[in-house]
Amino acid sequence: MSHYLTTIGLEIHLRLLTKTKAFCGCSNCFGGEPNTFVCPVCLGFPGSLPVLNSQYLRYAIKVALALSSNVSGMMKFDRKNYFYPDLPKNYQISQYDMPLSLGGYVDIISDNKPKRIAITRVHMEEDAGKLVHNKRALSSYVDFNRTGTPLLEIVSEPDISSPEEAYRYLIAIKSIIEYLDVSDCNMEEGSLRCDANISIRPKSQKELGVKVELKNMNSFKGVRDALIYEEKRQAKALSADEPIAQQTRLWNEEKQVSEPMRTKEEAHDYRYFPDPDLPTVSIDATLIEEISSELPEMPEQKKERFIRDCGLSKYDASVLVSDKVMACFFECCIKLYPKPKMIVNWLTGDILKYLNANNIEFNSVKTTPQRLISMFELMDNKTISGKMAKEVLHEMLATGDSADDIVKKKGLLQISDKSVIEKLADDIINENPKVADDYLSGKTNALGFLVGQLMKKSKGRADPQLANSAIKKGLGKKRP
């Protein structure tokens, strides 16, 4: 990408975890039998009217404040008019020119440097229903359970200059939202959705290139992959002097390519106008103060505290706070075992490696802070070696068993009995007379080989320090 500059903007749709839908008392549930969480209001039956859910407003304000966005004193709802079968009224209640909040930002690390991504606006809108397509059937099927569930749309400025930055921005947003407990941010389940706008232009060119909209990404990784693919595709086109069409493209996860949308795109004319069924909403300073005071410690603040109070590196602290559950796990650990650096090394090292390799979220980790600390204590009292500990941890993460049980079950107790080890050392020396002779004739690196053989014979259970001295002692006996 050396000749081109990339410009990316993201639109995130976040489903908020209120008990009921945005404008009616239907349960805000996921899934269920089709058309069972519905009422005249969310079905858009004639004569029905929307009434705003107070908790939806509170959650929305919470998110806006956490993103440092300026909450408006007065907001209104507008109708976005378009026909689609998943939209029962054939308009969506959204916000147009007086949204919930304007401005805001998220800080990320890009190329090891901090970067601030500006947010344009945060607005409230209702979700649409779901269409079910059956390849063989001649019809499509509509389920309105999701219709009217409360969404927040977070629109970024086109400040993002690489797919990796887009990925980090998403992670940062997710970690902020998770701290607020207002959404589960699960992209695979659709509670967080992300569309991207991307354009590239030659470095020498001032004005932005042709914008392409990307949709249908189902994971954070998918967003990054789609942007990488699109960046390359556009660069190739530009290099070959081919024009780039302004269009919407769908990410095909299976084929790992973006494809233009098949349906003919109409010029959008949404005919936004103020929804006469919903009065304007005034948000006074008292309410904003009340909600601000309820905000928990945010990742950025937590990170600062970890660096200051636990002496963690900036990098380690960032990794920890990027996942609310992991940060909480860490805080539980340091209360039990005051060695923060050791804890963070294991957390961000072996534990994360295991979880990532097995595609497990931290909140489904099978072990507990208490159990991890028990394992540390087994290391401290030499019951297990550091090397064995890695094996034990792996087992703990796989089964959820305690370190004690695993050690006992697998017979992994460290051999610290001097006489047992010395017996083993004598055996090894006798089995390798040539190596022993080499050592005695001055080739000191032969010692390592013999210790290694001993460890192998003990299946790694021998205390390494004892093994070392036992070999030396045994060889000493051979010295003429």
Of 282 and 313, nearer to other proteins (C-beta) is 282
Taking the complex as a whole, the smallest distance from the CB of residue 74 to other proteins amounts, in Å, to 10
Site residues for other proteins, 34-73, by CB under 8 A, read 34-40, 43-57
Distances, alpha carbon 74 to alpha carbons 18, 64, 285, 290, 332, in Å: 22, 14, 11, 17, 42
Backbone angles phi, psi at 118, to 5 degrees: -80, 145
- Sorted by sequence, the CB contacts under 8 Å of residue 406 that are 6+ apart come out as 392, 395, 396, 399, 412
Q: Which stretch binds other proteins (CB under 8 A): 226-234, 275-283, 333-341, 435-443?
A: 275-283
Tell me if 15 contacts other proteins by CB under 8 A.
Answer: no
Q: Quick one: which of 3, 25, 239, 382 contacts other proteins (CB under 8 A)?
A: 25
Q: Quick one: which of 7, 11, 27, 233 contacts other proteins (CB under 8 A)?
A: 27
Taking the complex as a whole, the smallest distance from the CB of residue 58 to other proteins amounts, in Å, to 9
Tokens at residue 231, please?
A: 């960046």
Q: Quick one: which of 31, 73, 260, 279 contacts other proteins (CB under 8 A)?
A: 279
Q: Around Cβ 220, how many Cβ atoms within 10 Å?
A: 20
**Which run of H or E residues covers position 106?**
strand 105-110
Tell me if 401 contacts other proteins by CB under 8 A.
Answer: no
- Sorted by sequence, the CB contacts under 8 Å of residue 112 that are 6+ apart come out as none
**Which run of H or E residues covers position 422?**
helix 418-431
Taking the complex as a whole, the smallest distance from the CB of residue 281 to other proteins amounts, in Å, to 5
Tell me if 85 contacts other proteins by CB under 8 A.
Answer: yes
Q: Quick one: which of 15, 89, 174, 193 contacts other proteins (CB under 8 A)?
A: 89
Q: What is the CB-side half-sphere exposure of residue 219 using CA atoms within 13 A?
A: 9
3-state DSSP call for residue 84? Answer: coil
Tell me if 252 contacts other proteins by CB under 8 A.
Answer: no
Tell me if 251 contacts other proteins by CB under 8 A.
Answer: no
Q: Quick one: which of 111, 204, 206, 276 contacts other proteins (CB under 8 A)?
A: 276
Q: Which stretch binds other proteins (CB under 8 A): 2-10, 26-34, 251-259, 360-368?
A: 26-34
Distances, alpha carbon 278 to alpha carbons 49, 77, 98, 446, in Å: 9, 7, 13, 85
Q: Which stretch binds other proteins (CB under 8 A): 24-32, 306-314, 396-404, 410-418?
A: 24-32
Taking the complex as a whole, the smallest distance from the CB of residue 279 to other proteins amounts, in Å, to 6
Site residues for other proteins, 231-250, by CB under 8 A, read 250
Interatomic CA distance for residues 265 and 139, integer angstroms = 21
Backbone angles phi, psi at 389, to 5 degrees: -55, -40
Tokens at residue 428, please?
A: 């090894």
- Eight-state DSSP code of residue 264: P
- Sorted by sequence, the CB contacts under 8 Å of residue 191 that are 6+ apart come out as 14, 15, 17, 30, 183, 184, 185
Q: Quick one: which of 12, 67, 71, 142 contacts other proteins (CB under 8 A)?
A: 142
Write the interaction track for other proteins spanning residues 101-140; mark x where CB under 8 A is met and - where it is not: ------------------------------xxx---xxxx
Q: Quick one: which of 265, 273, 361, 398 contacts other proteins (CB under 8 A)?
A: 273
Binding stretches for other proteins (CB under 8 A) = 18-20, 23-27, 33-40, 43-57, 79, 81, 83, 85, 88-91, 131-133, 137-144, 250, 261-263, 269, 271, 273-274, 276-282
